[in-house]
Amino acid sequence: MIKNLKMSAVVSLCVGIISFVCMAVLYLVLGARVSETVQEKSVENMMSVLNGQANLIENYVSSSENIIREYASAGEVIALLRDPSDPQRVKECQEYTERFFSNLHLWEGIYTSDWDTCVLAHNSRNFVGMVTRKTGELTAYRKTMTDSPDGFFNGGAFVSPSSHKMIFNLRMAIYDNDGTPLGLVGGGPFLSGLNELLVRMNASDVKSERYAVIDSAHYIYAYNSDESLIMAPIEYDSHIAVMERVNAGENEGVLEDENDTIAYRFLSDYNLILTMSYDTDELMSSVYKTRQTFIFFAAVTEILIIVGTAAASLFITRPLNRVTRAVDSLGRLSLEEKTDIKRYSGAKSEVGRIADSVDSLNGVLKNIVNTLSDCSASLGRGSELMTGTVAALSESADTNRKTTEKISAGAVSANRSIHAVNDRIGTMTEIVRESRDATGQRVDEAASMIASIDEKFLSVKKSTEKTEKDIERSVGYLDSLGIISDNVQVIREIAGNTNFLAINASIEAARAGDAGTGFGVIASEIKELSSLSSNAADNISAICVKMNDNIGTIKKCFDEIVTFIKQDISVIFEDMRDTAEKLRASVDEVNGDMDRMSEIIECIHAETSTLGALVEENEKGAADIDEKTRRLYETVRQLDDYISRNKQTVRDIDRIVSSFVK
């Protein structure tokens, strides 16, 4: 469970990092695009507003021009210009001028003058009779009107010499019916009237919005949102840059400085430059708010992705965790039935294949353990059988020893009897008879021992053949473990292909961008599952390697047991049989000697020398029997040693079996 949590944490962290990087890239791309779009829209809005303000100025000027035209078309004005000396016409025109001016708003004045610029009527009587232009200026002054088709001239904004305020310089020539200039009318509205209109039209929510109207002819502010700058010289670098652009022929556009974004338009008819300034940060405030909102939702989304990934990882890896526990249990050589992975057996997924392999390996190991148990029992029974054989051999050796002692004693007695043959023939005859009886008994015992040895030899041979067959069958079971290694290799290939597919899926998800985020998460999970399958296959492979090593050890032990039985025990039994045969032959030989001794006794007096030779030969036979008895003891000792080794082998096999069933 702890490993599962660690894996889920790693997967969640990786997915969180990937999603964070994707969102960061998305934030940068969208942020740049949104900033660019907002800036473009803001500039478009500024230019739209600026064009509206320019139209407002043009409408204001056009309205002012229409006022001059309306004033010029009055009958009183025309009548006065035709007869300037008529007091009645002067009076009527003056009264009309005053009435007309009283209906105007924010006008400096309006007047009628003759062609020589002598004021005939003015809204202020103080200016009547004043000459506004000197003689040397008349030609150029008149030309500004006569060059116009209808005689109207708009001199643009300028500082009035009388009021010292900015006004529009408007004037219009009045012609007689024959086209002769009679005089002119003129007047000028204050630019402050235009300023009021601009202020009323300023309905923007941008607090930093500022307007300025620049008189490009005199390099002063005709209007400024900061009233203290009206008619002040141009000092701001940004406005100077705007004037430089206008002088270069760029009549409208947008200029950005360190803090402000400035839109401008040149009104060439009036030599005015209309500018509108926004604080760039305030202009882009919507972008900043959008970015903050995006960051908030991105953070919430990142948390949801990490939590969801962790939950999904825990759910997805739950079957793999159970299979991993089963593999770990198998690695500890526990052969308990893995009931918690039965539900996944037969599935076509990697988890199902691993579950099938674990279940198969568990069954094979159980068969191996059962086979080893049978072999151990068989070896135990063989050891018990050999123990009985050793006991029988030991008893026979003891009997042979006693017989040898008796034969030696008989030879000594015979030797003594030779010296006193004439005196103790009767005693010797009795000894020979007893010796013959004892020898016959030994012959029978030797024959019985040979039959017992043959029976034991056949039993051991049959046990050896059965053990060899059992070992071959067990080795066949052990060799079947190679199928597991093949299955592990198939699992590794499947994990590799799955990893390759996961990498391709991640690449396609990255190409799909935001639309492929979910697919990228699934691809990452598939890649992690492939890595887990590969790790599980590696664990199974490691177990198989360890089992192969143990199998090699067991097989080697089996080979040693079979070799021991075939080469050592069989040889021992054959040596024992040969020894018994020789013993029986020796006994038969002794029996023959006894017969000859009887014949010699019958003619003891004639063949005393021959009897001495026979006694000496009997002593040599006793020594030979004693030597063979010692060899028999040595054989018994070796057989006992082999039995001890066989028991040790049985204990080793039992220990191996117990390691599986503990």
Q: Quick one: three-class SS letters along 564-613? A: HHHHHHHHHHHHHHHHHHHHHHHHHHHHHHHHHHHHHHHCCCCCHHHHHH
Q: Please report the pLDDT score of residue 87 as a whole number.
A: 93
Q: Please report the pLDDT score of residue 203 as a whole number.
A: 47
Q: Please report the pLDDT score of residue 122 as a whole number.
A: 95
pLDDT block averages, 10 residues each, the chain of length 662: 61 79 79 71 77 81 91 93 93 95 92 94 93 88 89 84 83 91 93 69 60 81 76 84 89 82 84 81 68 79 81 68 66 62 64 69 69 68 65 64 64 61 63 66 67 68 69 62 62 71 74 71 72 72 69 68 63 65 67 68 62 62 67 70 72 68 52
* Terminal alpha carbon distance of the chain: 24
> In degrees, to the nearest 5, what angle opens at C-alpha 18 toward C-alphas 16 and 21?
105
CA-derived radius of gyration, the chain: 67
Token output for 326:
């089963």
Q: Please report the pLDDT score of residue 538 as a whole number.
A: 75
Q: Determine the residue type at 374.
A: D
Bridge partners (DSSP) of residue 254 are 263
Domains of the chain: 204-283 (3.30.450.20), 350-661 (1.10.287.950)
The answer to pTM > 0.95 is no
Give the closest residue to 11 by CA, choosing from 565, 502, 509. 502
d(CA 488, CA 506): 26
Q: Please report the pLDDT score of residue 79 as a whole number.
A: 94
d(CA 332, CA 543): 10
Token output for 102:
């009283």
